[in-house]
Amino acid sequence: SQQGEEDPQALSIQEGENATMNCSYKTSINNLQWYRQNSGRGLVHLILIRSNEREKHSGRLRVTLDTSKKSSSLLITASRAADTASYFCATGFNNAGNMLTFGGGTRLMVKP
Amino acid sequence: KAGVTQTPRYLIKTRGQQVTLSCSPISGHRSVSWYQQTPGQGLQFLFEYFSETQRNKGNFPGRFSGRQFSNSRSEMNVSTLELGDSALYLCASSDWTGGNYGYTFGSGTRLTVV
């Protein structure tokens, strides 16, 4: 079963605008990760934030984590058409091996 | 370094047949995990292997099985295929840190059961 939900399920914006995606999860986590998927291909790891971190940046990406609310957000600034993809959050709880639990994903379309 | 390689890329099988998918992880990575992606259920964890041992297993029937070889390459097998097994199957590899720096996924094998 999926860990949680992502919001919105679909997002359409113009190039240059910012895109914000939210993720909620249900159980305790060690870390939360964001992945991108283009047209049903493999997942590409974007950024990982640990449970003791609140915010992390990587290029045009900003991720926040609120463990009290069991939620995270991914902000993509100055979006480009090439950012068009599905974005998934995944929670990791690695005490007994490697296993990711994914959210349902947000389909982002960036119009040129 | 080379990425995660999954073969074959596409596969069409008939109901009742069995299928074997292969995954070669990044050199030096000892953990390989498998995921199933369908439009209805999303991304679901199948199982994880580390140093030839299955460490975790998702909630899938016994028709789904896997193994890992001494060179860390992994295979998953699905027996008695059902139409609902049609999906994109993804494998992911990670190093000894256990995914603390994220996982590297292959491009997937798209299985169609007819």
Query: pLDDT tens for residues A46-76?
Result: 999 999 999 999 999 999 999 999 999 999 9
Q: What is the pLDDT of residue A68?
A: 95
Subunit contact B48:A98, Cβ cutoff 8 A: yes
Under a CB-based contact definition with an 8 Å cutoff, are residues B46 and B64 in contact?
Answer: yes
Taking 90 as the threshold, does the pLDDT of residue A3 lie above it?
no
Question: Would you state the pLDDT for residue B62?
Answer: 96
Average pLDDT over residues A82-103: 85
Mean pLDDT, all residues of chain B:
93
CA atoms within 13 A on the CB side of A57: 3
* Two structure tokens written together for A20: 């914000």
Residue A104 three-state SS: coil
**Nearest to B89, CA basis, from B23, B34, B24:** B34
User: Which band of pLDDT confidence, cut at 50, 70 and 90, is reported for residue B33?
Assistant: very high
Looking at residue B96, what is its pLDDT?
A: 66
Q: What percent of chain B has pLDDT over 90?
A: 85
A45/B contact by beta carbon, under 8 A: yes
Quick: pLDDT tens for A8-39. 999 999 999 999 999 999 888 888 999 999 98
CB A87 within 8 A of CB A58: no
pLDDT tens digit string along B74-98?
999 999 999 999 999 999 998 866 6
pLDDT of residue A110: 98
Q: Which pLDDT score, from 0 to 100, does residue A1 have?
A: 44
Q: Tell me whether residues A104 and B42 touch, CB distance under 8 A.
A: yes
A51 touches B at CB < 8 Å: no
Whether residue B90 and residue A42 make contact (CB cut-off 8 A), yes or no, is yes
| Burial per residue of B1-16, b for 16 or more beta-carbon CB atoms within 10 angstroms, e otherwise | eeebebeeeebebeee
The pLDDT of B24-52, averaged and rounded, is: 94
- The answer to whether the Cβ–Cβ distance between B105 and A44 falls below 8 Å is yes
Percentage of chain B lying above the pLDDT 70 cut:
96
pLDDT of A65: 97
**Residue B75 near residue A17, CB atoms below 8 Å:** no
> B26 in contact with A at a CB cutoff of 8 Å?
no
| Banded pLDDT at A98 (limits 50, 70, 90) | confident
3-state secondary structure B31-60: EEEEEEEECCCEEEEEEEEECCEEEEECCC
Mean per-residue pLDDT for B63-67?
97
The helices-and-strands tally (H runs, E runs) of chain A is 0, 11
